[in-house]
């Protein structure tokens, strides 16, 4: 089983963000020389202003001093500023250092980042408090905008009329309709596995990230846009590339001085043509669907309308102002749904595949549970997926060990705030940026026991076996959140798409486990690729590979429930 030494939990970082910036600068230089880009001039201007920016940062640090323990401050001149760049390259180590020192006391601590001081809340009760407190006291969207530049990025995409009703579409349409959309997502995922994973006789080495992004994107977009558009490779590539570009922009803009942020956003976001290319494909689809709605009339439309995100977005937009009803605006909603759904689910899929390949003793018990549960519930049903407790446990454990974000519930105090809970009284001044250390919490021996530093796939299913109350048992499901399990954040701003993501992950894994044998390349000696850390985010190694071969048992299993033979062979 995977294990990290308790003294140094975070793996070595082989590609910090600084290296990524260097690579980006090099690429932009080449493109500038070849006449393909003008972005390099802006980047060089920023580099020339780094000393000035550093001096301004020191001033900001001194101005915003908070009376709490400070972690990771380096000795010598500009120690806090240099500590910020240590956090940039290896945030997990810095946070774990503070957590080990202060979590047992329930004491908060402060870390220097390249742009701001961040207060890390360690007491679970105080974590629950910030997750549920009113936004006018501790603001969620204000922190989201400061850290991720949500409003400015949205304005440069959705325009001046920012309205995030596509988030409500997930809550009101996607999650409640899960049972009805599962068959199509399942089918598309199965077909995508077959189309993408080309195997020869025996074991075949596969660049797994390319396969995963294709399978996740196609299966999700079967629900979002339906056939045949979910197989339009140009559109899928645009969705993927836009998510990657936007994440890069968020990081670069956040590191830049505020005076340069609007210009940087415009250069890196507004000028690239990915959204316009997507709209050329999507606008006619929305136009045709609106004509269908008019042709059918209200009653027939309600009875016969397609069950996909195009329909949901049209229905939601028609309740808004006319600006929201344009094809361009509605196309943007689909781009943003893909941005939210594809990258994080793909990364979670890559993590669980690495985890299971590194712990092959789990494969047969998982297959046995999948087969017996599908026999009991009549195939690939929502009830069957819900009752695959061991598979669910592996997903929750993989998220505990490898959640996409290592810090969660990032907020800003909107007033001087005194906590009502916690072992130690805590009062934070207005304007304090605070967060919860998800990864450190998940590695805590006080919470998860002496084996917290070991990947145990059946950790949560073993715990659920001892619980007789179904309601209490459900609190340990993969999509459930708590003050001690923060993979999807917690509280009223927890990830709205987590239920969809977990069902999608289960369906993709079922097909993979039943059809294929899987292992790490032999030269890895059973050790999965190390994770990478960029600020508060964790990434699996997307350059890694896995080896696959088809199982002989597949010939019998693929028709056992009448579920796997659609379009496939």
Rounded (10°) angle between helices 233-255 and 208-224: 110
The answer to whether position 136 is within a domain reads: no
Does residue 271 lie in a domain region? yes
Query: What's the pLDDT score for residue 3?
Result: 44
Whether residue 118 lies inside any domain: the answer is: no
Q: What is the largest CA-CA distance in the chain?
A: 73
Question: Could you give the number of structural domains in the chain?
Answer: 1
Buried-exposed string 320-348: b where 16+ CB fall within 10 A, e elsewhere: eeeebbebebbbbbbbbbbbbbbbbbbbb
- Residue 257 placed within a domain: yes
**How far, CA to CA in Å, does 23 sit from each of 15, 243, 313?**
10, 19, 39
DSSP-assigned beta bridge partners for residue 487 = 489
Q: Is residue 270 part of a domain?
A: yes
Asked whether residue 495 is marked as a ligand-binding residue, the answer is yes
What local confidence, expressed as pLDDT, does residue 479 receive? 97
Q: Are 329 and 323 in contact (CB under 8 A)?
A: yes
| Cα–Cα dist 216/346, whole Å | 6
CB 438 within 8 A of CB 486: yes
Report if residue 48 sits inside a domain.
no
The Cα-based distances of 179 to 121, 495, 499, 501 in angstroms read: 38, 20, 12, 14
* Residue 562: CB atoms within 10 Å: 11
Q: Are 395 and 502 in contact (CB under 8 A)?
A: yes
How many other CB atoms are found less than 10 A from the CB of residue 388?
A: 22
Residues 6+ apart with CB under 8 A from 298: none
72 domain-assigned: no
Assess if residue 544 is contained within a domain: yes
Which residues span the domain enclosing 360? Answer: 163-405+437-557
H helix runs in 17-105, sequence order: 17-33, 39-48, 50-63, 79-89, 91-102
Quick one: pLDDT at residue 499? Answer: 93
Residue 170: what pLDDT? 78
Contact 422, 127 (CB under 8 A): no
Residues in the chain where the model's pLDDT stays below 50: 2-23, 25-26, 28-30, 32-36, 38, 58-59, 61-63, 150-162, 565, 568-569
- In whole angstroms, give the CA distance from residue 85 to residue 83: 5
Answer yes or no: are the C-beta atoms of 348 and 300 closer than 8 Å. no
Q: How far is CA 225 from CA 128, 154, 219, 240, in A?
A: 37, 22, 10, 15
What sign for the dihedral angle of Cα 440, 446, 447, 450? positive
pLDDT of residue 39: 53
Closest to 223 (Cα-Cα) out of 183, 282, 275, 278:
183
- The CATH number of the domain holding residue 298 is 1.10.630.10
């Amino acid at each position: 089983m995977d294990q990290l030494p308790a003294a140094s939990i975070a793996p070595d970082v082989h590609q910090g963000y600084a290296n990524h910036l260097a690579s980006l600068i090099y690429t932009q230089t080449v493109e500038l020389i070849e006449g393909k880009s003008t972005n390099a001039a802006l980047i060089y201007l920023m580099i020339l202003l780094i000393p000035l920016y550093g001096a301004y940062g020191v001033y900001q640090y001194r101005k915003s001093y908070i009376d709490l323990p400070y972690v990771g401050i380096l000795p010598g001149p500009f120690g806090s500023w240099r500590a910020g760049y240590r956090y940039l390259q290896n945030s997990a180590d810095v946070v774990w250092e503070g957590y080990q020192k202060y979590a047992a006391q329930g004491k908060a601590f402060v870390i220097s980042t390249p742009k701001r001081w961040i207060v890390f809340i360690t007491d679970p009760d105080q974590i629950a408090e910030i997750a549920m407190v009113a936004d006018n006291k501790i603001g969620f969207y204000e922190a989201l905008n400061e850290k991720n530049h949500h409003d400015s990025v949205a304005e440069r995409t959705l325009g001046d009329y920012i309205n995030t009703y596509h988030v409500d579409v997930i809550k009101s349409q996607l999650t409640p309709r899960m049972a009805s959309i599962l068959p199509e997502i399942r089918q598309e995922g199965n077909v995508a596995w077959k189309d993408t994973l080309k195997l020869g006789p025996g074991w075949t080495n596969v660049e797994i990230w390319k396969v995963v992004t294709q399978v996740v994107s196609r299966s999700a977009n079967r629900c979002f846009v339906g056939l045949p558009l979910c197989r339009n490779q140009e559109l899928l590539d645009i969705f993927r590339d836009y998510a990657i570009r936007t994440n890069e922009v968020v990081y670069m803009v956040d590191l830049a001085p505020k005076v340069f942020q609007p210009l940087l956003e415009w250069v890196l976001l507004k000028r690239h043509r990915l959204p316009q290319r997507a709209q050329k494909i999507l606008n006619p689809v929305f136009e045709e669907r609106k004509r269908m709605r008019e042709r059918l009339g209200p009653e027939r439309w309600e009875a016969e309308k397609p069950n996909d995100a195009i329909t949901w977005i049209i229905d939601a937009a028609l309740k808004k102002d006319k600006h929201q009803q344009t094809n361009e605006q509605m196309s943007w909603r689909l781009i943003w749904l893909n941005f939210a759904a594809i990258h994080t689910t793909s990364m979670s899929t890559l993590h669980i595949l690495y985890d299971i390949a590194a712990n092959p003793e789990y494969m047969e018990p998982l297959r046995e549970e999948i087969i017996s549960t599908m026999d009991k519930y009549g195939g690939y049903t929502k009830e069957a997926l819900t009752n695959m407790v061991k598979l669910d446990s592996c997903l929750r454990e993989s998220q505990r060990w490898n959640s996409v974000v290592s810090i969660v519930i990032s907020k800003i105090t909107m007033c001087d705030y005194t906590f009502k809970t916690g072992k130690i009284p805590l009062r934070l001044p207005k304007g304090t940026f605070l967060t919860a250390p998800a990864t450190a919490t998940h590695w805590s021996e006080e919470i998860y026991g002496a084996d917290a530093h070991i990947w145990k796939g059946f950790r949560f299913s073993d715990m659920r076996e001892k619980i007789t109350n179904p309601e209490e048992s459900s609190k340990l499901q993969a999509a459930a959140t708590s003050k001690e399990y923060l993979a999807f954040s917690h509280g009223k701003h927890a990830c709205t798409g987590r239920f969809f993501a977990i069902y999608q992950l289960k369906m993709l894994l079922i097909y993979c486990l039943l059809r294929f044998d899987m292992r790490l390349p032999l030269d890895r000696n059973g050790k999965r690729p190390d994770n990478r850390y960029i600020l508060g985010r964790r990434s699996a190694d997307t350059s890694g590979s896995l080896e696959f071969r088809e199982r002989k048992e597949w010939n019998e299993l693929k028709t056992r429930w009448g579920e796997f033979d659609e379009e496939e062979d």
